[in-house]
Amino acid sequence: MLDINIIRKEPRKLFEKLSTRGYDLDISYFEELEFSRKKLQKQTEDMQAKRNSLAKKIGFLKSQGLDANDLILESQSIPEDLKNLEQKLSYYQEEINKILFSIPNVPHASVPIGSNEQDNIEVRRWTPDQRVVDESFDYKDHVTVGEPLGLDFSTAAKMSGSRFLFMTGGLARLHRALSQFMLDLHINHGYVECYTPYIVNASALLGTGQLPKFKEEMFAIKKGSLNYGNNSIDEQYLISTSEITLVGRVSNSILNMNELPIKLTAHTPCFRSEAGSGGRDIKGMIRQHQFDKVELVQIVHPSTSYNALDDVLSDAERVLQLLELPYRVVLLCSGDMGFCSAKTYDLEVWLPSQKNWREISSVSNCEDFQARRMKARFRNDQGVLEYVHTINGSALAIGRTLVAILENYQQKDGSLIIPEVLRGYMNGDSILRP
């Protein structure tokens, strides 16, 4: 959530920045709401002051044994009048909050201006020296390679429908090995491993930015009411990423500055309805309703957040380097970033069957956007409260990493070479065979 004072003081400047994200801030409507809110706020405060003044006068007259009936009569209408004013004030504040919670983050000055992925900028590529792509090899897609190795979509479909998967044998072990390898690597990078809930209240999603904008993407498991004013929300959802629970750990907190940075990692299943993605990646593991992911989160001092963004990006890249998978780093343009992000890098891995790069991770600096929504603060050296900055990144999406391994490590006889760094998690096995 943005600082409301920015909207109040520099609405036109903010409008220009948000327009680069394709967001049209209705400044006139906001100003109308603000005018009415201020007017009602003043009337409410005046009414409260009058109530308090009359109460003092009545008390004084009674203490002197004097007649206070006229003042008592005057004061009798105040509670009802005050209640009506407070109800109207609450309505306008609720409408303002709806606007605030719907506004995306402002792009950082270093973010390129653009409308879609065509305007993203490639930063660098990395290719393992010892692995050469055989241009004459007929690379199969990951489904064709994976099904003889234990990738079973039909069994999953019988139980759950499309966009779920069932894995058996060595392939299931390889999937598990990936999560263990990633967690061990990130622990060595100074992250604290966490086990988090897979079900959260809607207030947690409001705090980290999934609600209200992405409600259709979430799997709701309990219905309730959504109230922007006091966060009295009782809906519950399956998590779409452990960013929600890791960042949410510091919600409604006041941290000491010496606690920063906080570096957290977790492996969780993630659940997404993929609303609006019909026709895209229906076949295979690229776009699933349920998938696993290892997430990295850093909660940091504002002055270090862009260094932390580089660190998280480097930590995610290291996974791909150790797995010896070709990838590239892409800086997203303003129109292609996520709702909460001020700056995002995507990691895209090479899929030879598609002859294309596919996203495998997003690493984002949300600055204080999430912290404002969830009231996560720290005391600086002067004892003044400031909002923390939050950085998150996938390191990595395990299903898509498995896709990349199936495509890049496939052999002509249908077998699969196990990346060397994973063999210790696979009882020393170096190859999977149909």
pLDDT score for 228? 60
Cα 387–chain centre separation: 17
Question: pTM above the 0.85 mark?
Answer: yes
Res 212: pLDDT? 87
241 is in an annotated binding site: yes
Matching CATH topology for 26-102 and 117-432? no
295 labelled ligand-binding: yes
Smallest Cα–Cα separation from 419: which of 216, 177, 58, 179? 177
pLDDT attached to residue 151:
95
Phi, psi dihedrals of residue 232, rounded to the nearest 5°: -85, 80
**What is the per-residue DSSP string for 49-74?**
HHHHHHHHHHHHHHHTT---HHHHHH
Q: At 145, which helix (H) or strand (E)?
A: helix 142-146
Q: How far is CA 287 from the centre of its chain?
A: 18
pLDDT on residue 160:
94
277 appears as a binding residue in the annotation: no
273 annotated among ligand-binding-site residues: yes
Convert the pLDDT of each residue in 110-155 to its tens digit: 999 999 999 999 999 999 986 666 667 889 999 999 999 999 999 9
- The domain defined by 26-102 folds into Helix Hairpins (1.10.287)
Q: 317 among the known binding-site residues? A: no
Rounded distance, CA 390 to CA 367, Å?
A: 6
Residue 262 known to bind ligand: no
CATH entry 3.30.930.10 includes domain 117-432: yes
Tell whether residue 243 is among the known ligand binding residues.
yes
- Which parts of the chain register pLDDT below 70? 130-135, 222-234, 275-282
Contacts for 198 with CB less than 8 Å, ≥ 6 apart: 238, 239, 268, 269, 271
**pLDDT value, residue 284:** 84
Q: What is the reported pLDDT for 15?
A: 93
What's the pLDDT score for residue 229? 54
Q: Tokens 């009295």 belong to which residue?
A: 232
**Could you report the per-residue pLDDT of 16-59, keeping only the tens digit for each?**
999 999 999 999 999 999 999 999 999 999 999 999 999 999 99
Q: Check the annotation: does 242 bind a ligand.
A: yes
Half-sphere exposure of 375 (CA within 13 A, CB side): 7
Amino acid making up residue 261: P
pLDDT of residue 283: 77
Residue spans per domain, the chain: 26-102, 117-432
What is the C-alpha separation between 213 and 259, in angstroms, rounded?
Answer: 32
Determine if residue 274 is labeled as part of a ligand binding site.
yes
379 belongs to an annotated ligand binding site: no
Q: Is 179 annotated as a binding residue?
A: no
